[in-house]
Structure 1
Amino acid sequence: MIIAVDAMGTDACPVADVHGAVLAARERGLHVVLTGDETAIKRELAKYNTTGLTIDIVHAPQAITMHDKPSVIGKGKPDSSMHIALKMVKDKQADAFVTMGNTGAAHAVAMLHTVGRIRGVKRPALSAVFPVFGHPVIFTDIGANADAKPEWMVQFALMGAIYAERALGTSSNPRIGLLSNGEEEGKGNTLIRETAEILARLPLNFVGNVEPKQVFHNQADVVVSDGFVGNILLKTYEAGTRYLSEHIRRTIRANIVWTLAGAALRPAFSRVRTKIDTTEVGGAPLLGVDGVVIIGHGSSNEIAVRNAVFQAERAVSGDIVNHIRQRLPEVMALLESVP
């Protein structure tokens, strides 16, 4: 399996990008191709023992930054590390693409300039995978489509369910929840109500509306929303966990007795952090494009990059793209028959 990794993705590229790729290649025996500034990549690779590892470099003279506008990078930076890696996926020279770079740019380059959409997909959806009590939950859409239509939301649900089943190891019948302001039937805005009515009539394991409290008590494997609501939930989750961690840290340090107790509890705190830290997931798929595309955070460290590569490996092994391609027409045909 060949994984193309954008070495110019993280905020401190290519340090974490290269280190994470080395870890992934060493632990899983993967063939990793690093795209980006060849000189900088070689300088980083020289820090590690790569004997026996299959790691190649493909030079890219341009790099997309977090400040680049997705609407202009398609033609403005055609030789970027993202373009080159995604073209490898399109040309079947790589099985998957991983980046910690500009999310909007990755979406634009994948959909408009390289791999394109799977036939029948109305809109690709960004996703996020959160660990909830050790169980991975996929959220989609979390930012690609601020405005959505019911049929798009149905596709988000199907694609998320396929990913949960094939890549995350969820049961063969993942529970799909529709994020709403109340769990009762009929709650939510027009989009939520219309989507719920359709999902309830399709052969999917739709468990109804879910509020955040249900989400974080493992009552759904797939959480569906439009990109506006999903993005707010994602950022609230991340900000909330950081706030709580910092508040606990400051409180413990305010008293010498509490500090000593905190030292004794450090292993427990570390275990909790591991359970909720999105670094442990690394990245999540851009669902609906005609290739495996995994996107992570620009602030990612080498562990997150490694885990994002592992996420790509699972997506390829689960044959995610082909399963979406095969099941989508069936569901859309049923959707057309729903009154």
Structure 2
Amino acid sequence: MFYLVFIFGMIAGSFLNVVIYRLNPALKLKGGVFGRSMCPNCKTQLKWYDLVPVLSFFWLKRRCRYCHKKISRQYPIVEILSGLIWVLVFWKVFGFNFSPFGGSPVGGQFFSLREIWQSQTIYNFQSIFNLQFLNQLNLLNFFYYILIFSVLLVIAVYDFKWKIIPDKIVYPAIIVVFLYNVFNFLKYFNFEISKYFQPAADPPLAENFEILKYINIEIFIYPLFTAIIAFFFFFLIYYFSSGRAMGLGDAKLAFLIGLFLSPISAVAAFTLAFVIGAIFGIILLVLGKIFPYYKKWEMKSQIAFGPFLVLGAFIAFFFSDFIFKLFQP
């Protein structure tokens, strides 16, 4: 099963490469990210057999079939990373023993479908979040995480190549995560109040406010609060350094990550980003003293910070259980 998921992930990674290339506004390509794939050098439209993930790269010996220019190593790297992301997310959501009624091991956030099926709904939420809509909840979580991590992968590669984080992909991702958090809150709202009130009849209006004390609103407020704090923290770095130490795009990306992860995981992600970024910078400086190729890197050199934020988010998400144990008293 994991092999199949990996293959689908690499196919998705092939599309992500197209998105990364076509997002560059300097190219002024027709069709946006949905245009036909073409060679970036000779602009020849590629055939399907030129686009087989990873295999085409080696089959063509790293050169375009038509102009024989070298193909960037970015393409197989992104495809392999996308495949690994799909596998890790699949394992995180469904576990090794995939079962539609097995529940989700994602930090205990989601109920199993059996629990949802046995729960009862009240108010108008029954018509909106009915059981037929929720019977594929784990699958919804899977594609949600795939979407967000695909966006993060695109941002990391794009920032690495062009030292900029595109708003046209960050803003939609923020909206998606926000709406998902709202949905998650309403799902918990729906489940929690059913444990305290019988849905036989709508409660009086006076009881509408009484039930709020049973609702765990933190699952919606905490990520939003974390995102706002993260944004202002990185914005202050950007402002007081006049954009030299940090870009405004990094602050927007931090907002997205803070909204996406739990507060503890978000703090871990940002800490890891700074630590890994510092280690990477030190390594480049040391290599510059030894090898001529790396002499272009010096203390004043600009290094994209977005990839480190994304890497920190990856580690914090997939190793969240280990991180939570570190923070436990």
Bin of the TM-score, shorter chain as denominator length: under 0.3
Larger radius of gyration: 2
Q: Which structure dedicates a bigger proportion of its chain to helix?
A: 2
TM-score, with normalisation over the residues of structure 1? 0.24
Q: Which structure dedicates a bigger proportion of its chain to strand?
A: 1
Question: Which of structures 1 and 2 has the larger relative contact order (alpha carbons within 8 angstroms, sep 6+)?
Answer: 1
